[in-house]
Structure 1
Amino acid sequence: MSSPPPPRRRADAQRNYERLLAAAETALNAHGAAASLDDIAKSAGVGNATLYRHFPTREKLIEAVYDQRIGALCAAAGRLAATERPGDALVGWLRAAVIHINASRTLGDAFNAAYQGPPDAEPPQVTAWHRSVREAVAPLLHAAQGAGRVRADLDGAELIALVTAVARAGNPAQAGRFLEILLEGITPRAV
């Protein structure tokens, strides 16, 4: 999503890349940053050399998996904008964002654990992911505000902060109820 586009690969190399991403996502969700790279390669049906050719470090592998997830979340915003009414598109995307945040907790922790940059700075890729998400939701928010479905004084950064807090508050099973309360709070009141 926010990483440079991958280089063109031969068909077999592209299949290996996709199988590695799928195997890595499964392993990282199950074991976090401690997931065995050897097991990931084996599960993908490739050798270690193939894994390291595509992903020279654990951090790069985790980044690619998370980047794929962010790309899917951002693409959902475009699909919803094209198929749903403005307020409904935003609500649909917020529901998808809550699911994404809850499903990505372990993967996000694994990325942070593998990050080898300065400990007091946000990783550049995380900054890029946040920017991509804000850019994806902005048209949905503006359309919903234009249709009178969402408070006009709410900005994108506030909305992302609120939906992130909703997704992380309590346990994942409570997120749906918390989102409903949030949605009530961002709906304009009749005067």
Structure 2
Amino acid sequence: MPGPRPRADAQRNRRNLLAAAESAFNAQGAGASLDDIARAAGVGNATLYRHFPTRQQLIDAVYEERIGALCVLAEQVRATEPAGAALVGWLRAVVDHISGSRGLRDAFADAHHLGETPQLAEWHRMTDEAAVPLLRDAQAAGAAHPDLRADELMALVAAVAHAGGGDPAGVRRLLGFVLDGVAPRP
């Protein structure tokens, strides 16, 4: 039998904490004030620490939420968009996530001392797996090279996001060049 469901106010407090933390980490990095995060979320420090006993747990939870949202988005665009467009739309969202959350990424890296953690490896696996059906659909539709692998595509997309220097227009431009190369030539 499943355990008791969290109360609605506890769920709301957690959502508010995650949103406030993401904003603070993106703006100020890993050293963002936890007191300010709690205040921005409209809760007290005790509530923050009840949900996230350590700074690292808060950073991890924010990052995990972002990864989970990308995986859900992959399913949504696959269900609603044509094959090639679904892949392109999702890859744009991935690039936006990577390039738009440098502070969060830096905070995550600081919390893990720049090392590859099992959790980080799991998140890479999750995004690679989310890309697989989108890529297969695009390949079946002739919109992507038939021999391209999802992990290769994700490595290219990550490189584009990092190379763009945080400039959304520049990142989108670079992604366009990569996607032109992903499409098979006649």
8 Å contact from structure 2 (residues 160, 175) kept in 1? yes
Q: Which structure 1 segments of 5+ residues have no match?
A: 1-6
Render the CA deviation track for 1:49-88: whole Å, top value 9, x for unaligned. 1111100100000111111111111111111100111111
Of 138, 147, 153, the residue aligned with 1:159 is 153
Moved more, 170-179 or 137-146: 170-179
Moved more, 85-94 or 165-174: 165-174
Superposed displacement of residue 166, structure 1:
1.0
Spell out structure 1 runs of 4+ moving beyond 6 A.
none
Of 126, 151, 155, the residue aligned with 2:120 is 126
* TM-aligned CA distance change 1:120 to 1:99, over 3 Å: closer
Q: How does 1:101-116 map to 2 (within 5 A)?
A: 101-115=98-112
Of 179, 183, 186, the residue aligned with 1:187 is 183
* Counterpart-to-counterpart distance in 1, 2:80 and 2:43: 40
| Structure 2 residue 12 is the aligned partner of structure 1 residue 15 | yes
* TM-aligned CA distance change 1:120 to 1:94, over 3 Å: closer
Of 36, 45, 63, the residue aligned with 1:39 is 36
Q: How does 1:42-53 map to 2 (within 5 A)?
A: 42-53=39-50
* Counterpart-to-counterpart distance in 2, 1:133 and 1:15: 27
Superposed displacement of residue 170, structure 1:
3.4
* Counterpart-to-counterpart distance in 2, 1:8 and 1:155: 40
Superposed displacement of residue 43, structure 1:
1.3
RMSD between aligned residues: 1.4
Of 73, 76, 87, the residue aligned with 1:76 is 73
* Counterpart-to-counterpart distance in 2, 1:87 and 1:96: 14
| Residue 178 (structure 1) aligns with | 174
| Residue 139 (structure 1) aligns with | 133
- 1:9 partner SS: coil
Render the CA deviation track for 1:98-135: whole Å, top value 9, x for unaligned. 111111211011011122xxx58411211111011011
* Counterpart-to-counterpart distance in 1, 2:36 and 2:114: 32
Superposed displacement of residue 31, structure 1:
0.5
Identity over aligned pairs, percent: 61
Render the CA deviation track for 1:143-184: whole Å, top value 9, x for unaligned. 110111100111011100001111111332311111111111
Superposed displacement of residue 8, structure 1:
3.1
TM-score w.r.t. the length of structure 2 is 0.93
